[in-house]
Amino acid sequence: MNLLKFFCVALVVVITGCANLDKTASAPDTTDPSRTVRVDQPAIGVSPHVAIIPTGPLRPITAAQAQSGAVTLQLPPADLWERIRRGFAMPDLQGDLVRDREQWYATRPDYIQRMTERSSKYLFHIVEELEVRGMPTELALLPYIESAFNPQAVSSAKAAGMWQFMPATGTYFDLRQNIFRDDRRDVLASTKAALDYLQKLYNMFGDWHLALAAYNWGEGSVGRAIARNQKAGLPTGYTDLNMPAETRLYVPKLQAVKNIVATPQQFNAELPLIENHPYFQSVEIVRDIDVALAAQLADITLDDFRALNPSTNKQVILAAGTPQILLPWDNALVFRRNLEAYSQGQYASWGAWTVPTTMTVAAAAQRVGMTETDLRSVNNIPPRMLIKAGSALIVPRSAKMGDVAGHLADNAYLSLAPEAVTRKAVVKAGRKDTVASIARRYRLNADLVADWNDVKASATFRPGEAVTLFLPVRATTRAATRATARASTRAAAPQAKARATAAPAKRAVRRR
């Protein structure tokens, strides 16, 4: 009888526990994303290693079911590597190419160490996004292949960021690229775009290996390769297609990294501990702020700040274009408190200025109160270049200058043109000559003529006044040629007249 009572009490405890677990599963603690109850009961088409959150109410179980292990509760792992292993869902690729890449990585432990340590800032976020979408967690390892998890990486083909987006592909997936920021490097934006793209490719080809080949080679190229094999009556799997060497090695590289992560001891690899919780959190900014000040207020180094906010191209973050920054989890609160207490003036010492007309760097520097050297350095302007009208420049922020507007923060560009080699020339102004009339005569910009002579663009010159111009070498040469021709003509005129006078006498002599 006592035994029966004990069993009933135990059953009530189990049922109560299941009810509590059901509440936890339906309303997880959002303050700690890792605290989730998971059940090893895979859905259709998902690897049995993937932990699935149950839906609907939990029903009581019998003691026999509990003893049989039909239902197993699995706690989330403390190590992110183990969480990644549990989410592996892609079919394994075998072959010599995989073994060759395994050997390559295994013989470079220092490289693996640097690469995995760099990834520790980003992996948790990527794994979270993959699990929300129900995608294989092998894809979290793809940036190892693309960029060694370096968000500042740029390929010879101009692909950028840890997911290596080409400019056109980045634009297609709404990744802004302008003088202030490059979202192909942004941790959140580029990860979303990459997973969107991979999902799109998987839906097109129905195979993860082909989707990865298309990510590397292009969906059109993979589609044409499949069509060629279909026409020839050949198989159309990843290993059956004729593709470039880089794409042929692409999936074997990922498989090799997957194998090392799965069993690092087999390859004498040591993976650094990456805890299964967020490394960073987003912090909203509502005012433009200098990058250096943001790092200072967060109490982190400038390098650490840029590692989490690699899309920033300049010294200032524009709130209209980048309304949030990423900070290490514990430093986010530090930043908020220090920002509220900050009372040393404006947050941003840099602003933006739109160039009204095409001008030299020297002229632009004079307009904004900078030296030519500083203006070139801040805006990365090479020598012997003109700044074209409509370009945006980073300049010191004046007291009258407000935060940069959204349209400029999103669409700012810098357009340059080769600066013609010039020579200084001094001409004399004629009657009623103005800055505008001389500029038209010599095909120059009126603002430049005014700057060269330290007058207003509407100024009128006195007759005979010396006007300084900088003429293109070709124009100078043509002018010199014309001047030489006129001088030669003037010098030759008396001789021609003398010849004309002497000609009758000569003819008369000949007639004699």
Active-site residue list: 146
Crossing angle for the helix pair 208-217 and 245-262, nearest 10 degrees?
130
Helix (H) or strand (E) holding 396: strand 392-396
Cα 308 from Cα 281, distance rounded (Å)? 10
Burial class (CB in 10 A: 0-12, 13-18, 19+), 16: exposed
329-341 helix and 291-298 helix, angle to the nearest 10 degrees? 110
Taking the alpha carbons of 259, 265, 266, 272 in that order, is the dihedral positive or negative? Answer: positive
**Is the Cβ–Cβ distance between 169 and 194 less than 8 Å?**
no
Residue listed under structure tokens 């002497």: 502
CA gyration radius, the chain:
36
- Whether 458 and 441 have beta carbons less than 8 Å apart is answered as no
Give me the amino acid identity at 261: V
Structure tokens at 123: 């992996």
- The phi, psi pair for 269, rounded to 5°, reads -100, 145
Q: How wide is the angle at C-alpha 433 spanned by C-alphas 429 and 435, nearest 5°?
A: 95
**Residue 490 to residues 176, 370, 483, 487, Cα–Cα distance (Å):** 64, 49, 11, 5
Residue 251: burial class (beta carbons within 10 Å; 0-12, 13-18, 19+) = buried
**Whole-angstrom Cα distance, residue 385 to residue 179?**
17
Nearest Cα residue to 325 out of 285, 379, 378, 274: 285
How many residues are given for the chain? 512
Does the CA dihedral 45-49-50-54 come out positive or negative?
A: positive
Return the number of other C-beta atoms located less than 10 Å from residue 91's C-beta.
Answer: 12
Q: Where are the alpha helices (DSSP H) in 289-328?
A: 291-298, 302-308
Q: What is the DSSP string of 138-180?
A: GGGGHHHHHHTT-TT-B-TT--BTTTTB-HHHHHHTT--BSSS
Nearest Cα neighbor of 118 from 140, 150, 142, 147 is 150
- Token pair belonging to 341: 């207490």
- The span from the CA of 420 to the CA of 298, in Å, is 47
